[in-house]
Structure 1
Amino acid sequence: MSTIVILGGAAPEGAGHGRDLSLRALRQFKARGSRVVVTDTEEALAAAPEYASLADETHVVDYTDPDSCVTWALEYRRRHAVDAVTGFREYSVVAVAEVAAALGLSGNLPELVRMVRTKDACRRTLGDLGFRQPASALCSTVEDIEDFLALHGGPAVVKPRDAAGSEGVVRIDTPREAADALAVAGRGGDRGLVLVEEFVEGPEFSVEGIFAGGSPYALAVTRKLLAPGTFVEAGHTTPVELPGRSHEEIAHEATRALKALGLTHGVFHVECWLTDRGPVLGEVHVRPGGDWLHAMVEWAHPALELFGSLHDDLLGHPVILPGPPTRGASVRFVVPEPGLVVGIEGWDELTGRPDLIHAELTAAAGDVVGPAASSGDRVGTVCLGAASADAADTAVETLLRDVKVRTAPAGSAKTSKREHDA
């Protein structure tokens, strides 16, 4: 019996797609006959007691600390063989690579994982390899950002070097906005560097896939929707088919980049823009995409077990790759106007539908909703599967037309004068 360790593998109720992803992986690993060891922080394991009954063992390990993970793994192996290690969170992928290297197991080289996790290093490497990239620079002061704008023009995007979930990402059009952007993205110019890059015009997509036998395989191309005026993702649809077979060009560019970077293992999520020059690669992730993309990809491929396929590849077993997707799925997020939630309509009528992959609303009357600055500021999810991506799009948009999260200015004595729909 093989033993697989999942670093950062517990997720409590309310953790959304992360909980569903972790449970799917654990169950698919167990169904293939493996022992599964789940590690996470003490708080996460305490908040998710069902993992203790599903997993063969649970251990308290900080998945954000690669050195601690390696120390624990080496000690654990003295008592029990370990055949594979994996993890699905953005902040666990470095620890996964370090543990795999320390134990001599299948995995990506740690230096490559650190490179793709550091946005400027990945931009530079992709550019050196000949892939289209926006102009970019590391900046630590307002003057640095102003110099970038003087050289490349605006608009530009200012972002942290290694954050996730659109946190701290700011668009600027003029030098006058540089100071505020630096404060948001870098928490002040004296605390570190931020990445400044050209704003790329064009619709955004991502490629979801898996490595098998050391080679990347694209499972679907996903269209991304942004909340107006933000970089926060408001929805996704997969698989998309574009005029002129541009979706195939996007998938090919993503897999070509993964090969060129030297990555060989895991589930991947590669972001890009489609421009008049062709695909321009964005961020590269050696973990599943968030926002229910793992469930949407499995829906699109009815015979696919995404994490079961990962399990087989990590253990050196043949992976049966699916053909083209045969169904479609769409997800939308509820992003109301900021303020005090004064009423919610239409939600109860939405739940219980057989075509729902997931529906969740985290806001209630009396809550205060802030501006949409990151994915954590969204207050609801509707994910739906259908016979095609177009049908899923139509169905989820129809459902959300009847869902209204009404807000009014926080602290207002009269809440009825300024109400907004989600």
Structure 2
Amino acid sequence: MERKRLFLVGIPETHIEKAIMRAKQLGFDVLLGDSEASLKKYEHLIKEADQKIVLDYTNDENLFSVVKEIHDKEPLDALFTFKETGLFNVSKLQQAFHLKGNPPSVVQTCLDKYKTRRLLKKAGLNSPNFGLCRCVEDVYDFWNKSEHPIILKPRSQQGSIGVIKVEKREDIEACFKECSKHDDEKSILAEEFIEGQEISIEAVVCQGKVEIFGVTEKQLYPGTFVESGHISPYQYQEKHQDFYKDLVKGVVHAVGIVFGPLHIEGYHTNKGFVVGEVHTRYGGDNIVTITEIAMKCDMHTPIFAELAGVPYKPERKPVPNEVCAVRFLETNQGIVHAIKGLSELKRMGNVVDFHVNCSVGDSIGPIKNSYDRAGWMIVKGKNEREVNDALRDAIDKIKIIIR
């Protein structure tokens, strides 16, 4: 039987190895495309890919040229990306080559926070009050109509880049200038500040149905919007399970999503649940790993099975056997003098994996976005208390010494 051909665009280093394995088990030959630097950096994770292809998925002309040449020689059966910065370009190719995926208009809507907000509001879904600001006067107008503080954010960025909390009126002009540096739309989004427990819902639209894999609780570094960790499952996940299912169905209908993974952020507040951002991709920050461990699920195969035309029904295990968390490292600012304790981490039974992003001699600055974090560790346990105890022990062992 002739094997089908799946082109994966972009390397999600935390789960690409599993993704390739699962696609091949469904009968795919796997082609993998990314930059030359990424293919080399992660070559130990992508050995099982049948073909590695150098491309720039953020450049629509380059991506189209590469994919068309491959498709013309031997047609592709499926095209899929894990990368937010590749979603729109890949969706255009899926449409051009009549391959399964979300329409480009839907993908573009989810990438643009302002467009997403408008559709959620139109559908009657509870989300933050918002306003489009093309100039600083628009921000002042929003401030005058809103409770304080407010949030300014770029329309189409990720990783908390450019997100600023404005607490005083006299700071508006400086905050607007800083936020605008990170936006190519010549306009930014102003939103009311939401206080509550932030969570994310990891789900999928497959075979025309919504399935929820898990709900993850988020933690932030103090005074920032940057995640310091995630824990799965959220302690009240089972209590709200039916609500989450209906919510995801409402979001899917409002935005027009027809296929693929979903990462929906939101807040439990004293005034009800507030929908945050909507992404047509898997969650980053090792969320796939901790969700699969905690919920005993497989987040890739439902997607790949539908792309392959293979019947598949996700297993539902509503009661997790474990709790799993990722915690990001926090260090002082300065030059890295030494990194100690890694061998001790390897011997800890509760530690699943860890990674340090810095090396001796690197300069560590303040944490302004997700890319400023010094590393991470994943820990699992029988319950949340065991996980938190293990995290404290692990954090005590690893020492990033700054001079």
TM-score, normalised to structure 2, is: 0.91
Partner of 1:7: 9
**One-letter amino acid of the counterpart of residue 206, structure 1:** S
Structure 2 SS opposite 1:206:
strand
**Structure 2: gaps of 5 or more residues:** none
Separation in 2, partners of 1:113, 1:268: 11
Distance 1:78 1:347, change over 3 A: closer
Write out aligned runs for 1:96-111 (5 A).
96-111=90-105
Question: Deviation digits for residues 28-78 of structure 1, max 9, x if unmatched?
Answer: 212322111111223333444457742222222221133443343333222
Separation in 2, partners of 1:313, 1:108: 13
Separation in 2, partners of 1:188, 1:176: 21
Partner of 1:351: 346
With 349-358 and 331-340 compared, the bigger mean Cα shift is at 349-358
Separation in 2, partners of 1:255, 1:406: 48
Distance 1:97 1:223, change over 3 A: same
CA drift of 1:188 comes to 8.2
With 59-68 and 110-119 compared, the bigger mean Cα shift is at 59-68
The 8 Å contact of residues 221 and 251 in structure 1, kept in 2 or not, is answered as no
Partner of 2:315: 322
State the Cα RMSD in Å.
2.4
Partner of 1:360: 355
> Is 1:381 the equivalent of 2:376?
yes
The 8 Å contact of residues 217 and 255 in structure 1, kept in 2 or not, is answered as no
Which of 313, 316, 319 is matched with 2:306 structurally? 313
Separation in 2, partners of 1:51, 1:244: 34
Which of 265, 274, 283 is matched with 1:271 structurally? 265
Separation in 2, partners of 1:166, 1:173: 18
CA drift of 1:189 comes to 9.4
> Is 1:86 the equivalent of 2:88?
no
Partner of 2:287: 293
Structure 2 SS opposite 1:258:
helix
Question: Deviation digits for residues 361-414 of structure 1, max 9, x if unmatched?
Answer: 23345432101001111112111122334432332233224444344xxxxxxx
Write out aligned runs for 1:43-54 (5 A).
43-50=37-44, 53-54=47-48
Write out aligned runs for 1:17-166 (5 A).
18-50=12-44, 53-166=47-160
Separation in 2, partners of 1:270, 1:344: 36
**One-letter amino acid of the counterpart of residue 143, structure 2:** L
Separation in 2, partners of 1:190, 1:284: 20
Question: Deviation digits for residues 142-163 of structure 1, max 9, x if unmatched?
Answer: 2221111011131111111111
Structure 2 SS opposite 1:306:
coil
> Is 1:336 the equivalent of 2:338?
no
Q: Which runs of 4+ in 1 moved over 6 A?
A: 188-191
Separation in 2, partners of 1:53, 1:141: 50
The 8 Å contact of residues 160 and 194 in structure 1, kept in 2 or not, is answered as yes
The 8 Å contact of residues 20 and 30 in structure 2, kept in 1 or not, is answered as yes
The 8 Å contact of residues 358 and 382 in structure 1, kept in 2 or not, is answered as yes
Question: Deviation digits for residues 151-192 of structure 1, max 9, x if unmatched?
Answer: 113111111111111111110112211222223221189982
Partner of 2:393: 398
**One-letter amino acid of the counterpart of residue 315, structure 1:** A
The 8 Å contact of residues 328 and 373 in structure 2, kept in 1 or not, is answered as yes
Structure 1 SS opposite 2:300:
helix
**One-letter amino acid of the counterpart of residue 109, structure 1:** P
Separation in 2, partners of 1:32, 1:393: 37
Write out aligned runs for 1:212-223 (5 A).
212-223=206-217
**One-letter amino acid of the counterpart of residue 42, structure 1:** E
Distance 1:140 1:260, change over 3 A: closer
Q: Between the two proteins, what is the percent identity of the paired residues?
A: 28
Separation in 2, partners of 1:25, 1:159: 32
**One-letter amino acid of the counterpart of residue 5, structure 1:** F
**Structure 1: gaps of 5 or more residues:** 10-17, 408-414, 416-422
**One-letter amino acid of the counterpart of residue 86, structure 2:** S
Q: How many residues align?
A: 399
Distance 1:188 1:313, change over 3 A: closer
With 99-108 and 184-193 compared, the bigger mean Cα shift is at 184-193
Structure 2 SS opposite 1:145:
helix
Distance 1:243 1:378, change over 3 A: closer
Separation in 2, partners of 1:186, 1:64: 21
The 8 Å contact of residues 239 and 389 in structure 1, kept in 2 or not, is answered as no
